[in-house]
């Protein structure tokens, strides 16, 4: 089976899994329950209470695919940088003894995980360009942009700007975020910015963090050798080796 077919099968597997979970949730868990979880929130009706806030296709498209792509880049960088992976595993194993239950609050303590994710989203933003259309004439930097001008905000280029991130702007280096001259956290805008920024960013970060914590508490990620790594579309093969 070729890599494309394997990737397609994996996608179908995840989509089916999610579709079944959503169907079970819709059937069994009304959104007004006291102990609602994140899926309950996504499945809750919109404010007019007649339509769901998100369709299944939107939840599948946004949650699983964007998150899977983010996780792919994290797996790639962690397997290429074993010392970072080791430090992250140490943080995870230690913090799980202090905070065995993962909640939105306890996740805040995983600061190195935050750095790893921010650095991955900086170097490999899943959405490369955020689009806007001006609603009025705007003057900027001596240029006039008439109403209706389409503007693309090149997140990838902004995240690799050496004026902001220094000479090693194109190097994946989570430790840059704890250095005394760390860039401002807002210089990474992988979820966009302004009133149309990503409404799912909190959910996305919680999901990605929980998956990484559950994986790295037990396994170490290794790249499968002899694979040609091409920009995500072709997928990435990793081996999970259970810790001794």
Binding site residue list for heme: 198
User: Does the protein bind ligand HEM through residue 188 (CB under 6 A)?
Assistant: no
Q: Which of 95, 118, 125 is nearest to 216 (CA)?
A: 95
Residue 191 interacting with ligand HEM (CB under 6 A) = yes
CB closer to ligand HEM, 183 vs 200:
200
- DSSP assignments along 210-221, one per residue: HHHHHHHTTEEE
The two three-digit tokens of residue 233, written as one number: 């579309």
Could you give the CA distance from residue 54 to residue 44 in angstroms, rounded to a whole number? 8
- What's CA 205's distance to the chain center, in Å? 6
Round to whole Å and give the CA distance between 74 and 187: 19
Q: Is 193 in the site for ligand HEM (CB under 6 A)?
A: yes
Is position 162 an interface residue for ligand HEM (rule: CB under 6 A)? no
x/- letters, 82..121, toward ligand HEM (CB under 6 A): ----------------------------------------
Select from 22, 113, 188, 190 the one that contacts ligand HEM (CB under 6 A): 190
Across 72-106, b (16+ Cβ under 10 Å) vs e yields bbbbbbbbebeebbebbbebbeebbeeeeebeeee
Give how many residues touch ligand HEM by CB under 6 A: 21
Q: Per rule CB under 6 A, is residue 70 in the interface with ligand HEM?
A: yes
State the number of CA atoms in the 13 A half-sphere of 128 facing the CB: 3
Contact string 19-58 vs ligand HEM (x = CB under 6 A): -----------------------x----------------
Nearer to ligand HEM, 89 or 122 (CB): 122
Question: Which residues are near ligand HEM by CB under 6 A?
Answer: 42, 62-63, 66-67, 70, 126-127, 130, 190-194, 196-200, 203-204
């Amino acid at each position: 089976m070729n890599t494309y077919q394997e990737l397609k099968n994996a996608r179908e597997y995840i989509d089916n899994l999610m579709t079944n979970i959503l169907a079970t949730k819709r059937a069994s868990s009304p959104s007004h329950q006291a102990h609602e979880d994140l899926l309950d929130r996504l499945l809750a009706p919109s404010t007019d209470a007649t339509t769901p806030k998100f369709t299944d296709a939107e939840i599948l498209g946004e949650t699983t695919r964007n998150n899977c792509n983010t996780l792919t880049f994290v797996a790639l960088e962690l397997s290429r940088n074993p010392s970072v992976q080791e430090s992250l595993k140490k943080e995870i194993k230690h913090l799980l003894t202090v905070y065995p239950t993962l909640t939105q609050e306890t996740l805040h303590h995983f600061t190195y995980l935050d750095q790893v994710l921010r650095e991955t989203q900086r170097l490999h933003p899943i959405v490369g360009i955020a689009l806007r259309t001006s609603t009025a004439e705007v003057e900027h930097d001596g240029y006039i942009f008439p109403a209706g001008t389409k503007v693309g905000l090149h997140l990838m280029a902004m995240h690799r700007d050496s004026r902001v991130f220094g000479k090693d702007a194109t190097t994946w280096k989570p430790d840059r975020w704890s250095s005394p001259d760390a860039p401002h956290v807002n210089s990474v805008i992988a979820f966009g910015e302004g009133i149309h920024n990503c409404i799912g960013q909190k959910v996305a970060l919680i999901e990605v963090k929980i998956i990484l914590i559950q994986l790295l508490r037990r396994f170490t990620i290794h790249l499968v050798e002899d694979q040609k790594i091409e920009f995500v579309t072709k997928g990435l093969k990793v081996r999970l080796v259970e810790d001794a």
